[in-house]
Amino acid sequence: MKAEKTTKPKKPTDWRKRFSAAKEPHVVMLSSPFAGVPSGAMMLISSPGEIARYVAAIPAGETRTIARLRSDLARRAKADAMCPVTTSIYLRVVAEVALDELEAGKPMDEVVPFWRVIEPKDKLAAKLSCGPERLEHLRALEAGG
């Protein structure tokens, strides 16, 4: 008879802690290609704070794509590209902190409006604790519907 495998329940992620623990944005030169960025390119590794500031500056009713966020922040840092992997991770951290704040009762206009960058059809939307439907709802609320 096989012994039953016991698995510890997974602890919920402390998104605020992940937000605070990230390193400051920095630029690295790639010695080999990475995630579609060629060898020799200068690549920005951003931070949740930098991404949150960018998203918070998008005017109400406007949106940006994740690709534009990456392009804009890379240009500001005088880099050729922004890391797509850490961008997704940090954008999720920013979104989950905002979702936690909304759940705690903070008004929509006082949290980082991640729905202005993450589209319901994005792969990242499916990973969020709220799911794509809530993103659609937040976008509709902001649009006045």
Overall residue count recorded for the chain in this entry: 145
Q: Catalogue the E-assigned strands of 18-100.
A: 26-29, 42-45, 81-82
Model confidence pLDDT, tens digit, residues 23-69: 999 999 999 999 999 999 999 999 999 999 999 999 998 999 999 99
Of 85, 94, 24, 83, the closest CA to residue 53 belongs to: 94
Q: What is the pTM of this model?
A: 0.88
C-alpha to C-alpha distance for 76 and 73, rounded to whole angstroms: 5
CATH says 15-142 is which class?
Answer: mainly alpha
The reported pLDDT for the residue numbered 7 is: 64
